Amino acid sequence: MAENAEKGFGYIVVQVSTADSAIPVPGANVLVSQNAEGGEALVSIMKTDRNGKTEALKVAAPSAENSLTPEGVNRFFKYNIRIDYPGYYTVENVNVPVFEGQTSIQPVALIPLEESRERGRIVRFTEEEPFENE
C-alpha cells in the first residue's frame, strides 16, 4: 500500500492524449461516476491540465484486506469515466477498478471526428477480467 494512504480510499488519474498518445489534450472534460441504486452517481467533474492529466481524484475503495483471502469480496470499487472534447469522439471507460491505497491511472486516446460524421458519437471501453469481483 502507498505511504500516507488513507484507509478506505484510492485515487484516479486520467491521462488524455491524441495522435497515438503523442499529443496531450489540455482542457478535456472528465466526468467520474459510480453505478448506484437507481442509476449512476456523479463523483466528480474535472478538466485536464496542460499535460492532459487530471489531478489525483480521491475516491472510496474497499479495504485491501479483502483481497487477502480467495473468498474476499469487494476487492475494489468500479468507477465510470467519460471524456469529452470538441472535435473528438466521446470516450467512456466503464468499470475502472480502484483499490485501496493505489492510484489507478487511466490512459485515454481521443479519436478525431471526421468532418462528415455527426457529432455525439461515443466510444465505450468496459473493463473485464481479471478484475471481476466474485
- Cβ atoms of 81 and 11 within 8 Å: the answer is no
Whole-number pLDDT of residue 25: 97
Cut 0.85: pTM above it: no
The identity of residue 106, as a single letter, is: Q
Residue 3 is placed in which grid cell?
505511504
Neighbours of 117 (CB within 10 A): 10
Percent of the chain clearing pLDDT 90 (strictly above): 54
Q: Please give the average per-residue pLDDT across 104-120, as a whole number.
A: 79
Q: Please give the average per-residue pLDDT across 4-11, as a whole number.
A: 80
pLDDT tens column, 37-92: 888 899 999 999 999 999 999 999 887 766 656 665 667 889 999 999 999 999 99
Task: Name the residue with higher pLDDT: 123 or 76.
Answer: 76
- Judged by DSSP in three states, 130 sits in coil
Whole-number pLDDT of residue 5: 60
Whole-number pLDDT of residue 134: 42
Q: Pairing mode, if any, of strands 39-47 and 77-84?
A: unpaired
| Cis bond before residue 26 (omega within 30° of 0) | no
DSSP-derived letter for residue 118 is: P
DSSP-derived letter for residue 78 is: E
Whole-number pLDDT of residue 3: 46
- The structural domains of the chain, ordered by start, are 9-113 (2.60.40.1120)
